[in-house]
Amino acid sequence: MIKELHEKIISGDVTSVQLTEKHLKTIEEKDPQIEAFLTIDAQKALKDAAAVDAKIKNGEEIDLLAGIPCALKDNICVKGGRTTAASRSLDNYIAPYDATVTKRVGDADAIVLGKTNLDEFACGSSTENSAYQITKNPRDIQHVAGGSSGGSVASVASGEAVWALGTDTGGSIRQPSSFCGTVGLKPTYGRVSRYGVIAMGSSLDQVGPIATSAEDVAIVLSRISGHDEHDATSAKSSDKKYEDYLRGDVKGAKIGVPYDLLKEGIADDVKESFMNSIEKYKELGAKIEEISLPHAEYGLPVYYIIMPAELSSNLARIDSIRYGMRANDHEGRDGRDAGSVIEQYMDSRQYGFGPEVKRRLMLGTYILSAGYYDAYYKKAQKVRTLIRKDFEDVYKKVDYIFTPTTPETAFKVGEKTDDPLTMYLSDIFTVTANLSGVPAISFPINTESEGLPIGGQLMGKWFDEEGLLNAVHTFETV
């Protein structure tokens, strides 16, 4: 879609202003129901679009993304704009600088329509933990869009935006992509800068593209990735144009399937689509091999130790002094004075955070406390090393690992809100990619069916995004 739109824009078939107006209109029509956006800046979008049109008129060369409307998850800082992470604590936070990804999107002259909804501080799998609104699944609004990047994914799935950026700490780009039928990539840890992205779990977080095809994901990844001196964990990898690697051929590629993990707890429709897509890869000439990831079953427990530990340390800065809403400013204080500094901290955090974030902060603080650090945190880190080693071993034999993205299709709004533990299960196949750092992509595998979308997940070797994207592109187009 991006390449076609680019052709239209440079040939004068459509102007960027017209294209942007069209998308703003779609938002106006659809977003009251879908609720993907938290902030829309139509004025800025149209001004930027006019600037791209002027460049074309002057005969200047423009980037593939130039003039094309997109959306950013609201935990990505945009200078001078409201950035809330869907938390009451950051309700009035105006970012004083651009995230590196925002800057790169701007350098490509892409048109940012607005900021999208998420679970508060990216903690969740349904956007039901947003302080503001619940994003609905564009395919069926009785169902959740998934999370935490539900707003970004729904904006793309509904045609409001052409592409979007999300963040993925345990599955937050892939799980909603699977639920809404988009293609979503979590790049290798270190591939994309985290500078200016509100941190959840710093050793797990990655920013990644969401679009309607592997080609579009590749085009966006080429523009947002690469070394950044502002992020100490950013890899010194060479810049690539990922869209140039889409050969449309997977002959001889070795795809490992951990059949052991797929025995229980997977819905029949998901299993069926997954088995059919294995057949399709075989027909395309790939070799399917059974593999085992013996420590993958500990992925979720390890994730739910490491992530809350890192979250509690990252969110310590939201103390109403350094960042965030101050308790005596809000209506919940009933006119009482601020009291002591400690009282102010406690009051602000009590009011500013929602229940799921509080649950995780308590868990994380407990896990990191002197008496329990060794028993939980240190042990989880050791198991994390074993999980990573499973991947190292398997990648000596195969090129990719294939699983469903989620055990079931999108659940209904409200269905799992009272039971956080079953909600956590939606990430059973996705968390290991974050724990090991490998790249992983979710793409629709039941495109023929009328029902809710089903996603397949391919994981690749560290820094082999081009291979992953080619494997998905081949599945989509051949």
Task: Kindly list the catalytic residues.
Answer: 73, 148, 172
Q: Tell the smallest beta-carbon distance from residue 123 to ligand GLN (Å).
A: 5
Q: In the complex with ligand GLN, which residue's Cβ is closer, 125 or 234? A: 125
Nearer CB in complex with ligand GLN: 15/442? 442
In the complex, minimum distance from the CB of residue 307 to ligand GLN, in angstroms, rounded to a whole number: 6
> Cβ-closest residue to ligand GLN?
172
Token reading at 130: 């947003």
- Among positions 36, 123, 183, 413, the unique one binding ligand GLN when judged by CB under 6 A: 123
Which of 16, 117, 152, 169 contacts ligand GLN by CB under 6 A? 169
Instruction: Find the shortest distance in angstroms from Cβ 129 to ligand GLN.
Output: 8
Q: Which is nearer to ligand GLN, 177 or 213 (CB)?
A: 177
168 binds ligand GLN (CB under 6 A): yes
Nearer to ligand GLN, 95 or 123 (CB): 123
- Binding residues with ligand GLN: total (CB under 6 A): 13
Stretch that binds ligand GLN, among 56-64, 86-94, 164-172, 317-325 (CB under 6 A): 164-172
CA distance 84 to 44: 19
Shorter beta-carbon distance to ligand GLN: residue 124 or 364: 124
Q: In the set 427, 464, 465, 466, which binds ligand GLN (CB under 6 A)?
A: 427
Stretch that binds ligand GLN, among 76-84, 162-170, 207-215, 259-267 (CB under 6 A): 162-170
Does 170 sit near ligand GLN (CB under 6 A)? yes
Name the strands in the sheet holding 400-404, side by side, starting at the edge strand that comes first in the sequence: 37-40, 111-116, 69-73, 163-168, 206-211, 183-186, 440-444, 455-459, 400-404, 254-257, 287-290
CB of 131 to ligand GLN, least distance (A): 16
Residue placing its CB nearer to ligand GLN in the complex, 169 or 470: 169
85 binds ligand GLN, rule: CB under 6 A: no
Closest to ligand GLN by CB, 172 or 182: 172
Q: Is residue 200 at the binding interface for ligand GLN, with CB under 6 A as the rule?
A: yes
Sole binder of ligand GLN in the list 102, 125, 130, 155 (CB under 6 A) = 125
Distance, CA of 83 to CA of 79 (rounded, Å): 9
Q: Is 172 in the site for ligand GLN (CB under 6 A)?
A: yes
**Interaction between residue 246 and ligand GLN (CB under 6 A):** no
Report the residue number, 56 or 440, with the smaller CB distance to ligand GLN. Answer: 440
Q: Which is closer to ligand GLN, CB of 124 or CB of 453?
A: 124
Match 């100490």 to its residue by tokens: 232
Q: Which of 124, 187, 354, 407 binds ligand GLN (CB under 6 A)?
A: 124
Pair 15, 9: CB distance under 8 Å:
yes
* Residue 53 near ligand GLN by CB under 6 A: no
Burial class (CB in 10 A: 0-12, 13-18, 19+), 140: middle
Q: How far apart are CA 309 and CA 148, in angstroms?
A: 18
Binding status of residue 158 toward ligand GLN by CB under 6 A:
no
Here's the x/- map for ligand GLN, 300-319, by CB under 6 A: it reads as -------x------------
Q: Which residue has the tokens 């002959």?
A: 251
Asked whether position 171 contacts ligand GLN by CB under 6 A, the answer is yes
Q: How far is the CB of 386 from ligand GLN (least distance, A)?
A: 21
User: Roughly what angle, to the nearest 10 degrees, separates helices 150-157 and 16-34?
Assistant: 120
Out of 20, 100, 135, 148, name the contact with ligand GLN by CB under 6 A. 148
Q: Name every residue whose Cβ is closer than 8 Å to that of residue 473 and which is 6 or more positions away in sequence.
A: 213, 214, 215, 218, 246, 248
Residues in the chain: 478
User: Which region among 119-127, 132-140, 212-220, 366-374 touches ligand GLN (by CB under 6 A)?
Assistant: 119-127
- Footprint on this chain of ligand GLN (rule: CB under 6 A): 122-125, 148, 168-172, 200, 307, 427
